[in-house]
Structure 1
Amino acid sequence: MAKIMFIVPYSKYYLNFSWDLIESLVHDGHSVTALAPDSVAEGTLSAVGVRFIQIPLKNTGLNPFYDILSIFHLARIIRNELPDIVSCYSIKPVLYGALAARTIRTTRVFLTVTGLGYVFTGFTWKQRLLTPLVNTWYRLAFQHCERVFFENPDDLHLFNRLGLIQQDKTTILNGSGVNLDKFAMNPKVRSKAPITFILVARIIKDKGIYEYIEAARILKIKYPHVSIQLLGPFDHNPTSISKAQVKEWMNEGVIRYLGETTDVRPYLRSSNVFVLPSYREGTPKSVLEAMAMGLPIVTTDTPGCRETVIHGRNGLLVPVKSSKALADAMEQFILNPYMIEIMGACSREIAEYKYDVFKVNALIKSTMQI
């Protein structure tokens, strides 16, 4: 049996994205240690036999002194724990975890690129300044790992084109998968009026929330009774949206903000169409959960998102950053409500065939040879 260490950007990541994998590993008899910068999920992890260690790591921002401290701290933990495998997810855990794990030559390192993040999604002076540094760091991290998992082919091709990684060192996953039993198909007829649209995401610009709001404004003029909802946590991010801004939208009557939740299923059950106009993703877990529960999807024709939708079958793809196109796509479901059931059933079929979490986890475990 193997000693496996995970490093993630925040502890709820284990609950939202890696829970089925961790449970499976514990059930198989492996020793699992989970590292994260906060202890919110410590009790839940401990209850299933996972050892938790809190680490000094800031998922956002760039403070060289703190970041160097993070790497040294991670290296010390790895030396003390001597894991057989270190598995890192998201940007800073990937970059810092891989470098820290170099101190133990016998430790096998696996990295998962869950998306490109802030540096690769815009052209501000700060992003342009950081890009060469981040590319160099990725190149170093990838040199000292056994394999890198990507969640969509576009991210892999970009990294390959930039010369950051060799193709034969990579594996593409269908996201983190979705538990089809937990997110069961909703048998309720979904075409009843008034139609409810829902977007589930962190409240940041890069999720396409401004475009969603503008599309809502367009639709509300013609269809005032349509419900357009937003669910998700506020976030510390360079593109974060303030609570005051969301309150202003609510006062305007454009959307209904539902707050934050630990269980999205009741909200998905009471909705008809899932919308995510994101600028770029790894593979959005929120979309997979909506698909599993039988919702049609409206999302952008952009990396990570386009893989989840067969245009015209289980949803509609729209150009990124186009409020008008987004409103037009959403309007199709208002004018043709029969599409909701047909496309929703297709979403479930695609989720079963492509995104079953047990299939995804089987590929991860076979690649790690555990």
Structure 2
Amino acid sequence: MATLANQRPPRLLFLITVDWFFTSHFLARALAARRAGYEVLVMTHLEGERARLHAAGLVPIHWQVRRRGLNPLTELRSLWQLVRVYRRQRPDLVHQIALKPIVYGTLAARFAGVRHLVNAPVGMGFVFTSTSPLARTLRPLLGLALRLLLNPAGSRVVFENADDRALALAAGMVREPAAVLIRGAGVDVHHIRPVAEPPGIPRVVLVARMLWDKGVGEFVAAARILQERGVRARCLLIGGLDPDNRACIEPTRLKAWQAEGIIDWLGHREDVAELIAGSHIVALPSYREGLPKALLEGLAAGRSIVTTDVPGCREAVIAGETGLLVPARDPKALADALACLLENPQLRQRFGAAGRRLAEQAFATEQVEQTTLALYDALLGARAPGGAQGGSYTQGSS
């Protein structure tokens, strides 16, 4: 672990816009850092997770920020708050997650004299997935900001999939020695264990926030096609609304689909692992991802996967071995792939067994934690575990 000149524990600050995403995807890494001797602070818009962060021994700091905020005065206040917190807390290392924290946090770090940054673009967000006029307008502006701010001196950039890493390198957003591949949040393969498929009508689950760019509309259309063909299946949507996201689906639309008898929408659930264990296929027809946690949980549970051949999603699947890949925005291709697995339990089970092996070999949480801690230590000048120092860290392979 890194040792600083004044011998105090190194101070690590996570910056992220929403607290629930931190606890879902980064809490395990924060706890690993705390066990390794780091003092860990989490600056985020605190809603329902403050008590959980406190109980975990982390220091929560409320950030007045909105993901979709565009008002210049409000955004300047969010940026100025960052500058003040960075100056007051004097973190030795800041891990900035998603695009707004990266842009604002890197600017704040310059003003506050913070030298070491880990910038994690994750899934690239609404601006890079949507075809709306607003997204097309913002895309070149955000691209310029990332070229200027994504990879300053003293920083590393963590990508969750090889496609995003290659794209950023080609666009000149990041220097190759600083481009790090850590494949997603990982999955706890000790907690999530493979179980036999349940009897009865096969279940297909989509686990995600109810957003258009998660492919929810295509999933519903594919479910309708299966119904018209007489293919027996129960199609479940598992996930809550995200009204602060511009791609959020209206709850009236979700309820109408359910009333039509096409899908069952279960809303936000805490028992996702159990619901996946009670399924036969995990589907995610997303337009783009970092590396979706739901697919990793499906692999760990020994379930076959159907997902889109796009960055992030394809990273979680070996096509024809652990699942099937289909084109994005193509309900018929999605329905065809689902029908193939629904009607062939032996193929599903073969894919599921191979997927479990892949989860153990490439996506176990311990690998993500170890690689992340090695990166932190290298940035702070200490020799990382296993002898790694600086440069590029790659976890696993496709």
Same-fold call, TM cutoff 0.5? yes
State which of 148, 152, 158 in structure 1 corresponds to 2:161. Answer: 152
Q: Is the 8 A contact 2:69 2:75 kept in 1?
A: no
**Distance apart, 1:143 and its partner CA:** 4.0
Q: Please list every run of 5 or more consecutive structure 1 residues that lacks an aligned counterpart in the other structure.
A: none
Q: Distance in 2 between matches of 1:122 and 1:13?
A: 20
Name the counterpart of 2:222: 215
Q: Which residue of 1 aligns with 2:354?
A: 346
Matching residue within 320, 337, 359 for 2:367:
359
Give the one of 209, 220, 237 matched to 1:202. 209
2:72 corresponds in structure 1 to 64
**What SS does structure 2 have at the residue aligned with 1:317?**
strand
One-letter amino acid of the structure 2 residue matched with residue 332 of structure 1: C
TM-score normalised by length of structure 1: 0.96
Residue 124 of structure 1 deviates from its aligned partner by: 3.1
Could you list the per-position Cα deviations for residues 113-136 of structure 1 after superposition, in whole angstroms to 9, with x for gaps in the alignment?
Answer: 101111111333222211121112
Alignment-mate amino acid for residue 281 of structure 2: V
Q: Which moved more, 1:341-350 or 1:134-143?
A: 134-143
Question: Which segment is superposed worse, 6-15 or 136-145?
Answer: 136-145
Q: CA deviation at 1:319?
A: 0.7
CA drift of 1:324 comes to 0.4
Which of 239, 242, 259 aligns to 1:232? It is 239
Give aligned pairs, total. Answer: 368
1:41 to 30, 34, 49: 49
Q: Which residue pairs with 1:315 in the alignment? A: 323
Matched, 1:102 2:110: yes
Contact 1:83–1:107 (8 Å) recurs in 2: no
Q: Could you tell me which amino acid in structure 1 is paired with residue 32 of structure 2?
A: S
Q: C-alpha offsets along residues 299-343 of structure 1, whole Å, 9 cap, x if unaligned?
A: 000110011111111110001111000000000112111122211
* Contact 2:16/2:98 (8 A) holds in 1: yes
2:180 and 2:356 map into 1 onto residues whose CA distance is 25
Q: Superposed, which structure 2 residues align to 1:284-299 within 5 Å?
A: 284-299=292-307
Describe the SS at the equivalent of 1:240. coil
Query: Matched residues in 2 for 1:31 and 1:247: separation?
Result: 45
Q: Percent identity?
A: 33
From 25, 28, 37, the equivalent of 2:36 is 28
Corresponding residue number in structure 1 for 2:390: none
Q: Secondary structure of 1:7's partner? A: strand
Residue 184 of structure 2 corresponds to: 175
For the 8 Å contact 2:206–2:283, the answer to whether it is kept is: yes
1:112-131 paired onto structure 2 within 5 Å: 112-131=120-139
Deviation, structure 1 residue 63: 2.0
Shift of 1:65: 1.7
Q: Distance in 1 between matches of 2:207 and 2:25?
A: 15
CA–CA distance in structure 1, aligned partners of residues 211 and 220 of structure 2: 12
Match for 1:177: what amino acid?
G
Contact 2:151 2:175 in 1 (8 A): no
After superposing the two structures, state which structure 1 stretch, 92-101 or 319-328, moved more: 92-101
- Report the 3-state secondary structure (helix = DSSP H, G, I; strand = E; otherwise coil) of the residue aligned with 1:118: helix
Q: Is the 8 A contact 1:3 1:30 kept in 2?
A: yes
Q: Cα distance, 1:191 vs. partner?
A: 6.6
Could you tell me how far apart the structure 2 residues matched to 1:146 and 1:63 are? Answer: 29
Show structure 1 runs of 4+ deviating over 6 A.
none
1:14–1:127 Cα change, 3 Å: closer
Q: What's the TM-score, normalizing by structure 2?
A: 0.89
Asked whether the 8 Å contact 2:150–2:173 carries over to 1, the reply is: yes
1:167-214 CA deviation, whole Å, 9 max, x = no partner? 2221011112111122x2232x21733100000001011000111001
Q: Is the 8 A contact 2:194 2:356 kept in 1?
A: no
- The root-mean-square deviation of aligned C-alpha atoms, in Å, is 1.5
Secondary structure of 2:17's counterpart equals coil
The secondary structure found in structure 1 opposite 2:18 is: coil
Paired residue type of 1:360:
V
Residue by residue over 1:62-85, the C-alpha shift from the partner in whole angstroms, topping out at 9 and shown as x without a partner, is 222211111110110010001111
Report if aligned partners of 2:98, 2:121 keep a CA contact under 8 Å in 1. Answer: yes
Residue 174 of structure 2 corresponds to residue 165 of structure 1: yes
Residue matched to 2:260: 252
CA contact (8 A) 1:6 1:86 kept: yes
2:146 aligns to what?
138
Do structure 1's residue 271 and structure 2's residue 243 form an aligned pair?
no
Describe the superposition over 1:81-130 as per-residue Cα deviations: whole angstroms up to 9, x where unpaired.
Answer: 01111111111111111211112335311111101111111333222211
3-state SS of the aligned residue for 1:103?
helix
